Structure 1
Amino acid sequence: MGREEQVEEREVLDSIFPEEITANLQSTNPKLLPTSTDINETEYRVSVLLDLPLDEEDTNEPPTVILHVRYPDAYPDEAPMLDLSPAQNAAPHPLFSVANDKDTLLSGLEDTIQENLGMAMVFTLVTTLKENAEQLILDRRAAKAREHEEVLLAAEREENKKFHGTPVTRETFIKWRESFMKEMEDERIRQEEERLAELKKARVKEEKKLTGKQLWERGLVGKVDEGDDEEGGLAEGVESLKVTT
């Protein structure tokens, strides 16, 4: 009974995948690969070309996955034996690798296999494999876009720091106030020192001037007649005065 169901399934697959069955998988263009390939009566390969939406950042050709199917005698009551391989000579895709993603993709078929035991399931497995592989690439596209967006946002944040001051907190205010008060005190001390220096300088200059008494005692000023202008007499004596320091 298992063998009869296997033959029927292959006939259905031939109608779904109408490409000519051939053993040639050497084409470098995945679009020219046959959809299914017979190896023997119970084993064949299905070429699964992924269908991806256009993306400005990802201009690579969509990858192709080769699904190897081998029927055990009791299939479909027993799960088929599956394997995956890349299309021969196909260009590598930056977001997908059959070698690296095979375990993930095969494990993603386990639930489908269990749900369809007792029924022909290869077409469902092909559909599930295709959807899972496409979603894997789309998720990586989205992650790459988020990473790129984060880089742009980080650069923008760094640029915006130039236009924003340090946020004011209680700690930063106290620190600023202490610095400001110290600066004001230093300025007050400086100004006081300058004022004292000016006073000292003026006092020295004042000491260098001789008083009228000193001028009289040193005989530098003559007697002033009552009729004479005291201010004039004093001025005449002062005119001839030379003070040396």
Structure 2
Amino acid sequence: MGREDQVEEREVLESIFPEEITDISETEFRINIILDVPGEEPADDTDNEPPSFLLAVRYPDEYPDVAPRLDIIAPPNAPAHLHFNVGDDRDALLANLADTIQENLGMAMIFTLYSTLKEAAEQLIQDRRDAEAKVAEEAALAAEREENKKFHGTAVTPETFLKWREGFLREMEEQRLREEEERLAELKKAKVKEPVKLTGRQLWERGLAGKVEEDDVAADEEEGLADGVEQLKVEAA
């Protein structure tokens, strides 16, 4: 175990990652890890590249009987990603490898560590996307609830019903009084404009029947006298 195992593992990694692996020295290399994010297709242009980072590996002399020295590095000029940042996520991702390293001591483990690290980073991104979607969904539901309040009346309780009934009865009484006042006002106007006409019986009972007839006769005589005067004036002319 030792250097021979390291060389053999390095050759296997070269066959698996022909373009992703870069040697730094005989015992140190880096593997570019490109993350597969659901819903984000790999882009052909550099302006929309998927998130990625470098796994830096250095073999101690006793590897694989002791853990390799690992680090996570951001690629040069790497575009920022909304849900992943090497600087913020580095420590959590490296800590996530502790159990895997202990389980694989004595065996070549770099490919296993690569797979575990890639899966953890992708899950981290998915968790953040899910949390973001949940916040957006809750905001939409809250807005919908506020909108629905416009179409729901106040819940009826004995207290609210009695309060409504009191107000309704008061409103109906006020309306009745207004209508009564308007009716009385109309009656007063009618009495002023149209004098009451007495019936023949009422005239007789009040002793006005003969007077009315005399007044009518006197009026007729005056009218006849006036007509006679006019006739004399015409003949004299």
Q: TM-score, normalised by structure 2?
A: 0.69
Is 1:165 equivalent to 2:152 in the alignment? yes
Bigger-Rg structure (1/2): 2
Residue-pair matches, total: 208
Distance 1:94 1:39, change over 3 A: same
Aligned to 2:12: 12
Structure 1 or 2: more helix by fraction: 2
Is there any run of 5+ residues in structure 1 with no aligned partner, and where?
20-33, 225-229, 240-245
Taking every aligned residue pair, what percent have the same amino acid on both sides?
A: 56
Could you tell me which amino acid in structure 1 is paired with residue 152 of structure 2? Answer: G
Is 1:125 equivalent to 2:95 in the alignment? no
RMSD: 3.8
Aligned-pair distance for 1:113?
A: 1.4
Aligned-pair distance for 1:149?
A: 4.0
Is 1:177 equivalent to 2:165 in the alignment? yes
The one-character-per-residue Cα deviations of 1:29-85 (angstroms, maximum 9, x if unpaired) are xxxxx41122223222111111233449x9942122100112233322322221111
Aligned to 2:30: 45
Aligned-pair distance for 1:107?
A: 1.9
The one-character-per-residue Cα deviations of 1:176-195 (angstroms, maximum 9, x if unpaired) are 33332222222223234434
Aligned-pair distance for 1:159?
A: 4.9
Aligned-pair distance for 1:106?
A: 1.5
Task: Provide the secondary structure at the position in 1 that maps to 2:128.
Answer: helix
How many Å separate the matches in 2 of 1:182 and 1:118?
Answer: 92
Is there any run of 5+ residues in structure 2 with no aligned partner, and where?
220-237
The one-character-per-residue Cα deviations of 1:87-123 (angstroms, maximum 9, x if unpaired) are 1112222222111221222122222112212222111
The one-character-per-residue Cα deviations of 1:178-233 (angstroms, maximum 9, x if unpaired) are 3322222222232344345556x379849x98x98xx99xxxx8x94xxxxx6x51
Residues 1-245 of structure 1 mapped to structure 2, 5 A cutoff: 1-17=1-17, 19=18, 34-55=19-40, 60-162=48-150, 164-170=151-157, 171-197=159-185, 201=188, 205=192, 224=210, 232-233=212-213, 236=216
How many Å separate the matches in 2 of 1:72 and 1:179?
Answer: 89
Could you tell me which amino acid in structure 2 is paired with residue 44 of structure 1? Answer: F
